Structure 1
Amino acid sequence: MNKTEMAEKLAKKADISKTKAAEIIDIIFSTKPGEGIIAVELDAGRKVNITGFGSFTTKSRSARTGRNPATGETITIPARKYVAFTPAKGLKDRVVE
């Protein structure tokens, strides 16, 4: 499912226009700096918990050494933050069935 399809389904279920549904999706999921409810909370280091669906958190990977597969040269892979999603039990159980 892509954003357009999600907006169409949201519009139908909530009885709103597709344009308004797309705006709501953008408000929640946008990744532009300073926009997107989820991204702004994660930028601030806070956990986003959506009851019955799951949680988004940021985690850190420490720096480590790796190898360039083309040359075999040892390289340093820098430390970085990443977004992790943990599904809620209900979602996890539903998908597994």
Structure 2
Amino acid sequence: MTLTKGRLVESVRQRVFFVRKEKPLQRSLFPEMEHVYLSRKRAASIVDTVFELIKGSLEKGDDVLISGFGKFKVRFRWAKKGRNPQTGQSIIIPSRRTVTFHPSRKLREEMNAEPPRGGR
């Protein structure tokens, strides 16, 4: 299953909540109203903000380190010769910047600790 932006927003919405400040009597009568969950719009705004911060740092050429998850790095790729596989014609692939991801040791260990799922 692929983690999409929509699923990420829904996960943030379900896991982030605010503690409502109410009178003690109301809290004891209605404990389920003690927490207020984020709206879908607010959760989407938070996810978009995080993505924009990551994107902005990468566009400036900075690395993005998320502790316990991994590191996004900007790499420069020099121009190189290539070949069009359909025609066989030689072409020049222009230089460009690209993003690479290196998982943290903790993430690698957690991924390899679980047995594989789904036969893959």
Same fold (TM over 0.5): yes
1:96 positional shift: 2.1
The equivalent of 2:14 in structure 1 is 12
Aligned to 1:84, the other structure's residue is in SS state strand
Give the letter aligned to residue 22 of structure 1.
A
Aligned to 1:85, the other structure's residue is in SS state strand
Aligned to 1:95, the other structure's residue is in SS state helix
The equivalent of 2:97 in structure 1 is 81
CA distance in 1, matches of 2:55, 2:8: 19
In the alignment, structure 1 segments of 5+ residues that lack a partner are: 30-35
2:62 aligned with 1:60, yes or no?
no
1:43 positional shift: 1.0
1:76 positional shift: 0.7
- Give me the identity figure in percent: 36
CA distance in 1, matches of 2:85, 2:7: 39
1:69 positional shift: 0.8
- TM-score, normalised to structure 2, is 0.71
**Pairing 1:34-45 to 2, within 5 Å after superposition:** 36-45=52-61
Tell me which structure has the larger Cα radius of gyration. 2
- TM-score, normalised to structure 1, is 0.87
1:26 positional shift: 0.5
Give the letter aligned to residue 47 of structure 2.
I
Q: How many residues align?
A: 91
